[in-house]
Structure 1
Amino acid sequence: MAKSNEKKRDFFWLSYSDLMTSLFFVMLVLFVLVYTMQNKLISDLGEKGRELDRIKEIEKTINNIDTTYFKYDKVNKKHILNMHFLFPSGSYNISQIYPDKRVDLIKAGKVIKELILKYPVEDNIKYLIVVEGQASKDGWKGNEDLSFHRAQSLTWLWKLNNIGLDKLQNCEIIIAGSGEKGIPRTKPDIKTANQRFLITIVPKIGQMKK
């Protein structure tokens, strides 16, 4: 009987030892797993923080773009081309109507291009640029399409003068026309107030599929 009890005790301690060893191994695996995940999370957060700081740096550069050609609207985060236009109703070819503004329009395009080229492609900095045309409330029924064609005319002028933003590796350009709508709009909305171009420059880090 004594030997039987002794065997039971030996079996109990052996089983207990195996259980503790297994628990220790499980805890060790969990510790390594948590430690690895924690380090990865810290690394990811650090990378995101650096990306955010870079975006803020680029946005600051964008917001301070040459005021000779652009006026920045802080509320709507858009650049207003700092030129006045008075298109005849139904017209949109900016080169034909405003040959005197051609030089300044080309310089404005170069300012945007130089900004994009400031950061090398290897830095993985991408830009989304929206060239938006606006129209005044002059009674013309096709102002929405007209404002689009005016924006398109501006980008054509840039292309013809070696400022093809859409050809840059780190840039995607969108042409838009908001007609008599869109924001911002100058008040009072008189005939010449809103015949203008708005440029939205959005920096991002990562891939941009075309």
Structure 2
Amino acid sequence: MKNRETSFFWPSYADLMTSLFFIMLVLYVVTVVVMQGTIGVDAEKFKQIRDIERALQELDSTYYSYDEGNKRFKLNADVNFPSNQSDIDLLPEPVRQQLLEAGRQLYRKIRVLVEEKNINYLIVIEGNTQRNAFNYRYTPDIGYNLSYQRALALHKFWQRNGLDFNRFQNCEVLIAGSGYFSKSREADEDRNRRFTIQITAKIGEFK
């Protein structure tokens, strides 16, 4: 009786193992196919973003310089606000004209790029504030507030002159003030009164 049961067991066991082997093989093939498709899509997205970054770096160097380390642009206009002021109209006319032309350059570039409908753009307009020996240590909040107001003033200045980036459906603008602590600060504090612009491209929808 035992020999008869054994004779039935081993063929059944072999059939079961063979079936499991084929199931695992099919799952492996499906997984490889799915992963190859995902890698292909990610590679295409990466290429699109790299193409966008190269296009943005073609902004006129008269008005922009690119900070490679922090992946953002600095407006070359030597913005020298009066102390504790954020009103763009207080700046000399040549400086305002330079800021306006910088805005036009950026607007034209974004207008071309947003034609690619599956790509969204985040534009961060960042204001900066010059340090002195005491302000960044004892009154950091003043720096944050002032630099934010200056960035907002630039955004409104561009809007008043027909450069409203919010018109583009797939473009979002953020206003930021880094106070005395921007990552793009330079050793010469006189050069830390400038604006910086950061542009991030994102494939798909904003979540």
Q: Decide whether the 8 Å contact of 2:151 with 2:177 is kept in 1.
A: yes
Q: Check 1:188–1:157 CA distance in 2 against 1; reply closer, same or farther (3 A cut).
A: closer
**Structure 2 portions without partners, runs of 5+:** none
Matched position secondary structure for 2:113: coil
1:187 is matched with which residue? Answer: 187
Offset of 1:197 from its aligned partner?
A: 0.6
RMSD of aligned alpha carbons: 2.6
Equivalent position of 1:82 in the other structure: 76
* Secondary structure in 2 matching 1:137: coil
What is the TM-score of this pair, normalised by structure 1? 0.81
Number of equivalenced pairs? 201
Q: How many angstroms does 1:152 deviate by?
A: 0.2
TM-score by length of 2: 0.82
1:24 aligned to which of 2, 12, 18: 18
Which shows bigger deviation, 168-177 or 20-29? Answer: 20-29
Who is 1:61 aligned against? Answer: 55
Question: Does the Cα contact within 8 Å between 2:127 and 2:177 map onto a contact in 1?
Answer: yes
Q: Gaps spanning 5+ residues in structure 1: where? A: none
- Distance (Å, rounded) in 2 between the aligned partners of 1:17 and 1:137: 83
The reply to whether residue 171 of structure 1 matches residue 179 of structure 2 is no
SS where residue 118 of structure 1 aligns? helix
Q: Distance in 2 between matches of 1:207 and 1:149?
A: 29
Secondary structure at 1:200's aligned position in 2?
Answer: strand
Candidates 19, 36, 45, aligned match of 1:42: 36
SS of equivalent residue, structure 2 residue 178: strand
Quote the offset at 1:121 in angstroms.
Answer: 5.6
SS in structure 2 opposite 1:23?
Answer: helix
Please say which structure displays the higher CA radius of gyration: 1
**How far 1:16 sits from its partner (Å)?**
3.9
Aligned-residue identity in percent = 29
